[in-house]
Structure 1
Amino acid sequence: MVWKRTISAKALEKAKYASVKVEDKVIFMANIKGKLYAMDAVCSHARCILGQLDEEKLTVKCFCHHAVFDLNTGNMLEPPYVAPDAPKEKLGLKTYQIRDNSGWIEVDV
């Protein structure tokens, strides 16, 4: 495990979500009712940055073509509207362990 410090826990709590560069990756992080989530922030379809969070469904949507990903698993739940036959099972995103360590959000990359 290699834990990397990203942003302050207070900043993530206030914003609810953020996409942060960690080494050579961009990671989407969310704080939903005190539970932390982390997954790749770059859509597997057209390489756009994710960003429309649905707190109730625990999903995040890509702004470019509206693919929807599960925050718990990284699985693609809805394919991009421009590629309705896209193989959802192959286009999921990697999830990461995430924690609050002394007021800083850390991600295991």
Structure 2
Amino acid sequence: MAFERACSLSDLVDGRPHAVTVDDQDLAVAAEAGEVFAVEDLCSHASVALSEGEVADCTIECWLHGSTFDLRTGKPTVLPATEPVATFPVEVRDGEVYVDVTRTLNGVTPG
């Protein structure tokens, strides 16, 4: 695994995803329910940044049409999205968030 620093844990505010780029991969990183998640920062329905949406109940919402995606699995939980987004492994070390963008947790190839 090739974990790279994405941001500081202090950059993450509950309810708000944080946009970062790691090795040319745009990510939305979010803290929710005591965990940190990283998903592809691109809605599978409308190709807009998920980092501009909101986070609640372990989901991230696309601001444009209201689709939501499970932060753990990337699966859509509210239409109109029907395709999942890529999710990535995350580690938190010494107050820093690291993400491995060389592989996905859910097998989805980032778009």
TM superposition score normalised by structure 1:
0.80
Q: 1:104 aligns with which of 75, 91, 96?
A: 96
Q: Structure 1 residue 48 and structure 2 residue 48: aligned?
A: yes
Match of 2:85 in 1: 93
**Shift in Å at residue 33 of structure 1?**
3.8
Alignment of 1:26-41 (within 5 A): 26-41=26-41
Larger radius of gyration: 1
Runs of 4+ in 1 over 3 A off after TM superposition: none
Unaligned runs of 5+ in 2: 102-111
Query: By how many angstroms is 1:22 displaced?
Result: 1.5
Number of positions where the alignment pairs a residue of Structure 1 with one of Structure 2: 97
% identical aligned pairs: 32
In 2: Cα distance, 1:100 partner to 1:19 partner = 17
Tell me the SS of whatever aligns to 2:87: coil
TM-score (norm 2): 0.79
Q: 2:46 and 2:73 mapped to 1: Cα distance?
A: 20
